[in-house]
Every structure is written in structure tokens, then in C-alpha cells.
Amino acid sequence: MPVDGGLRELDTTRHLVADMTPTFDAYPAAAVVLDLTDVPVREDDPVVALQRLADAAARLPGGVAAGCGFAGCDGGIAQTAAGDEIGRRLEEAQSRLREGPCLDSRRTGKPLANVPMAHPHSRARWPRFAPRAVDAGITAVTALPLRYGGRVLGSLDLYHRHSPRPRVDVRAGRILADAAAIGLAHRELIDEHREREGQLQTALDSRVIIEQAKGLMAERLHCTVDDAFDLLRHDARRRQMKLTDLAHSVVHDPNGEPIPLPRH
């Protein structure tokens, strides 16, 4: 993952925090942003980070409900979380119906702000989801992609309705989405490094046990280690065993695994 892209995302978030509107108090907001950046690294389950994001977004001024989710490989939703019951129902509806502004934002990586659900365009674009949103009392939806380094990890979904209160603060939502995306992307990097480290350790362990088996066979059969390796490999194919498993048996089997005999 490009480091420069990640730094640009972090820099953008810092500028947004510094330029927040009075409706999103700077000090509590800074604590929330730091938590969203850090929680994916601290928690083993990434859904915890999604839930923390949904809970924070549900408290944004002008909003009614909030949800978020990871983008699935097939363009759908892999995992979701919601800050309240309305958000949970609407997230589940989009996942089940495979349509809605939040899914579109995840697929395209573009934000959709204050999209009116009763508008004919919305009803034509999302014919099954839009009526459900209106029935739930939601008149508009804002979907903000969770983006990092050119990748779209999911979206933050804000559900709101027209009222005397101000419209949902899209800039504040973007701050939360960017912070969560940074944390989630860093967690992916950590998981990738751990997986690669495990693979390298497995390969090293396999190499060590094979070398031990070769040395043992060379000593017992009075042959070179290269000839011992050929015998070991041939016997593994004959038994339809993994070379590492046979080598482990030769070295560690308490029952005394037979040493492969020279071929004639």
C-alpha cells in the first residue's frame, strides 16, 4: 500500500479537524478521531471498529441514524454495524436487496450527500430500498466512502430526515470516515505482515526438519546428503506424503519410521 497516499489521507483529516464547524465541538471530536484511528489496531475483531464508527456517527448533529460496513469482494456488503435500530434495519435492507446509496458509494468510491429518498430519481435508482427508507421515516441518506491509499474499504452511512434541526454535517462525517479508514487500513497491513511472517516461519521450520532428515539418512545409509534427499523425495512421492511430514517422521517418530532404502 503506498505510504504517500496514506499520508495524504491523514493530512486531509488533520485539516478537516482544524476547520470543523461549531456544531462538532473540537475537543470531544479530536478524542473520537484518535480512537477511530487506533481502535482497529488494538482490537482483534474489525467489527469493533465499525461499531465504534457507527456509534460516533449516530451522534452527529442533524442525523437520525447511522451505519457502516465493509465492501465485499462481489460489490456487496461483507460486514456491517449500526449505531441504532433504524440504522441496523436499513443496513440489512441494502445488503439483502443489493441496492441503495451506500452500496453505490462503496462500489464507486464517491460520496453521496443528502440524497432525498422520496425523489423520483431515487425511487427509480433504488426502487426497493428507497420506499423502505421513507417508511422508516428517513427522507435523505448520506453515504461517505471509507477510502485509504486509493482503496475503498467500505462506507459510512448517515440517515436523516427534514426537521427544524440543521442538515447532517457532512464534513464531520467525512472526518470520522477518514479516521476509521486510516485505522482499518493499518490493521490490514499488520495482518498481512503477520501472515507473511507466519508463512516464512513455516517455510523455515520445514527446511530445518528436511535438513535434519537428510543428515540422519546420510549417516545411516553411508551416502551423500544429496543422495539422501533424492531418496527422501522419492519415498514421499511413493507414499503420497508431504516431504515435510515424511522428514518429520524420520527424525521424530518414536516408533522408528523406516529409513527409505536406496533404489536399485
Range of the domain at 182: 3-193
Residue 264: inside a domain: no
Judge contact between 250 and 217, C-beta under 8 A: yes
Looking at the structure, do residues 175 and 221 belong to the same domain, yes or no? no
Which residue bears the cell 465485499? 72
Residue 116: inside a domain: yes
Looking at the structure, do residues 58 and 109 belong to the same domain, yes or no? yes
Residue 262: inside a domain: no
Looking at the structure, do residues 121 and 230 belong to the same domain, yes or no? no
Number of domains in the chain: 2
Looking at the structure, do residues 60 and 105 belong to the same domain, yes or no? yes
Task: Give average pLDDT by consecutive 10-residue segment, the chain, 264 residues.
Answer: 42 42 53 74 74 84 80 59 88 90 89 91 95 92 88 87 61 84 81 84 87 87 88 88 87 60 50
Looking at the structure, do residues 236 and 129 belong to the same domain, yes or no? no
Residue 260: inside a domain: no
Task: Point out the domain boundary residue: 153, 169, 193.
Answer: 193
Residue 70: inside a domain: yes
Residue 225: inside a domain: yes
Query: How crowded is residue 211: how many other Cβ atoms within 10 Å of its Cβ?
Result: 14
For the CA atoms of 180, 181, 186, 191, what is the dihedral angle to 10 degrees?
100
Residue 162, Cα to own-chain centre: how many angstroms? 34
Looking at the structure, do residues 66 and 159 belong to the same domain, yes or no? yes
Looking at the structure, do residues 140 and 27 belong to the same domain, yes or no? yes
Looking at the structure, do residues 204 and 146 belong to the same domain, yes or no? no
Task: Point out the domain boundary residue: 174, 193, 212.
Answer: 193
The CATH number of residue 211's host domain is 1.10.10.10
